[in-house]
Amino acid sequence: MDLLERTLAAASKDQRTTDDKGTLLAGLPQGGTLRASPPITDDRGSLFEVFNEVWPGQGGNPVRQAYVTTMRPGVVKGWGLHKRHGDRYFLLTGTIQFLMYDVRPDSPTLGHLFKVTVSEANRQFLTIPPFVWHADHNVGDTEALLLSMPTEPYDYADPDKWRLPLDTPLIPHKFPGARGY
Ligand SMILES: Cc1cn([C@H]2C[C@H](O)[C@@H](COP(=O)(O)OP(=O)(O)O[C@H]3O[C@@H](C)C(=O)[C@@H](O)[C@H]3O)O2)c(=O)[nH]c1=O
């Protein structure tokens, strides 16, 4: 076998990752949604749609609370899981890789790990269903600002949040050198 055949035999072939409109075809946990929010630009500036309850998968879940979280470069927030609410994220600035690990016994994507990277150059609206472990990793070199609009308002007395350490052996992903919790 010559060098070409030997190297190709060891190579992996890229699979399709976007549709012909450039929309990410990133896999998602069942029930998650990802919607591109391209800039609507005119001579005055741009407009980015953040949320509209008529979008697919949003029916009946109006925004009842919104907050912004920031992540310094290299920081990871997570692993987090919510039982009573889903997360709805819109990236404002920076570059974040969202990791999701589905542990729902009846889900067709049970045991699957998903990674979706979003940046200011390609803003997306992402929804993560309850009972899906997730972590937000700032893979950029600037502070990231993330707008969150959970499907339920924050319960100060009984936060709907469970945590696993970033180095848990229970989730097949490592964050070498990352800081956070
Ligand atoms: C979400 C939230 C938190 N807090 C408080 C709780 C805590 O003292 C501080 C930081 O909260 P958190 O540690 O939950 O913030 P943070 O680690 O940024 O949490 C985020 O992480 C990612 C992975 C997620 O899953 C998100 O849902 C969100 O929980 O802010 C509020 O006062 N109001 C709120 O609405």
Closest residue by CA, ligand 1 atom 34: 154
- ipTM tops 0.90: yes
**Does 57 map to a domain?**
no
* Span from the CA of 148 to the centroid of ligand 1 (angstroms): 10
Q: Which long-range contacts (CB under 8 A, 24 or more apart) does 104-107 make?
A: 104/29, 104/30, 104/129, 104/131, 104/132, 107/29, 107/30, 107/31
Range of the domain at 73: 26-39+63-153+160-166
| β-bridge partners, 76 | 137, 180
Tell me the average pLDDT of the chain: 93
Closest residue by CA, ligand 1 atom 11: 69
**Does 148 map to a domain?**
yes
Ligand 1, CB cutoff 6 Å, lining residues: 67, 69, 77-78, 80, 87, 134-136, 148, 154, 161
Q: Would you place residue 59 in the very low, low, confident or very high pLDDT band (cuts 50, 70, 90)?
A: confident
Closest residue by CA, ligand 1 atom 9: 69
**Does 74 map to a domain?**
yes
pLDDT of 177 reads 86
pLDDT of 53 > 80? The answer is yes
Helices (H) and strands (E) in the chain, counts: 1, 13
- Which residue, among 98, 99, 94, has the nearest Cα to 72 in the 3D structure? 94
**Does 120 map to a domain?**
yes
**Does 49 map to a domain?**
no
Average pLDDT, integer, range 77-83: 97
**Does 121 map to a domain?**
yes
**Does 133 map to a domain?**
yes
For residues 115 and 139, give the distance between their C-alpha atoms in angstroms, rounded to a whole number.
12
Check which CATH number belongs to the domain holding 143 and give it.
2.60.120.10
Q: Report the sign of the C-alpha dihedral through residues 82, 59, 64, 143, in that order.
A: positive
**Does 109 map to a domain?**
yes
Number of structural domains the chain divides into: 1
What is the pTM for the complete model shown? 0.90
